[in-house]
Amino acid sequence: MAQIAIIGTGAWGTTLARLAALESIRRAQTQNGGASTPALAGVTLWEHNPERASEMQWERENKAYLPGFPLPANLRVTTDLAEAVRDRDIIVLVTPSQRLREHARALAPHLAPGAVVVCASKGLELGTHLRMTQTAAAELPAGTPIATLSGPNLALEIARGLPAATVVACEQHAAAEQVQAALSTPRFRVYTSDDVVGVELGGALKNIVAIAIGINDGFGYGDNAKASLMTRALMEISRLALAAGANPLTLAGLAGLGDLIATCGSPLSRNRTLGLELAKGRALDDVLAERKTVTEGVTTTRAALEMAAALGVELPVTAELASVLFEGKSVREAVTALMVRDPKRELEGL
């Protein structure tokens, strides 16, 4: 099994680290006829805070972001980035999107030749509106295989061992297959794709929609409005992705529609619950200030509008959400603005 490093100890990073470590043990035991045996491969998990890293390493639990799920014996937590990625075949970046560039820059000198870097963060970089693989590519050595991992992947459900699926996309198919082989388990099915653009944009942009759906649910606008909003927002995502060069079928798959359904429908979704809080009349800054984790849909809303402007694509739902989040527009005014737009044919125009 591949040697894997996970950079970032949030709920999703820790879940991926546990998944890889437990699968390594399972495969080792299977090869040994079911008898207990040391794992064939270990997993390193990088945490920037020495105190938290020490606590996780010795208490074998991430109490801050994934409490109640013991860390396997073959999972090692470290604050030394060079040590974390040394001789690793696969390095998975699971950091906030606005910090991914600095982490890619920091690990670049320590990559083993041929190592695959996987961006499991979902977002767009503010100012550049670059996707995460593009951001990483700007800092990593030329020729480094860079993949993205995205799908309907709520961390807590996967940590519990509930069935789930995801997509790993990379322009180098062999690298995608390498990640697929490393992360696939009997409860976590990994598909491959060469459509990096579609997989990344589907994963990033659905967070915007989930905020809007939370607001919809909080105001009690009903299931008709919810279904209409999700469908029209998916059209927006698809148009922007296609303008950026994505395969339209990707947006109907796990990284598009699949992730949209999960993020908009689950009480575990940070973006949806943010929308619910905003519907109560709370200020955005107050809600964000009390959260330990990053709600990526907020910054992605700004970056998506930057990207859309550069590509000449109109995003009505995203634009109205931005006016609510950042300009003080009321939800009712935003809904009215969407409802009274000029009549359109459904499959032509927005």
CA distances, 347 to each of 233, 238, 239, 292, 350 (Å): 13, 12, 11, 41, 8
Q: Is 344 a catalytic residue?
A: no
Beta bridge partners, 90, equal: 4, 116
Q: Are residues 123 and 267 in the same domain?
A: no
Tens-digit pLDDT profile for residues 48-73: 999 999 999 999 999 999 999 999 99
Distance CA 177, CA 181 (A): 6
Domain edge (last residue) among 179, 194, 209: 194
Catalytic residue among 122, 206, 280, 329: 206
Chain-centroid distance of CA 154 in Å reads: 9
Any bridge partners for residue 92, and if so which? 6, 118
Number of separate domains in the chain: 2
Range(s) of the domain holding residue 215: 197-339
Single pTM value for the model: 0.93
| Chosen domain end from 162, 194, 226 | 194
Across 191-202, average pLDDT:
98
pLDDT in tens, 110-128: 999 999 999 999 999 999 9
- Looking at residue 218, its pLDDT comes to 95
| Other Cβ atoms closer than 10 A to 332 | 9
Nearest to 334 by CA among 350, 316, 349, 346: 316
Does residue 170 sit in the same domain as residue 221?
no
Q: Which of 167, 194, 221 is the last residue of a domain?
A: 194
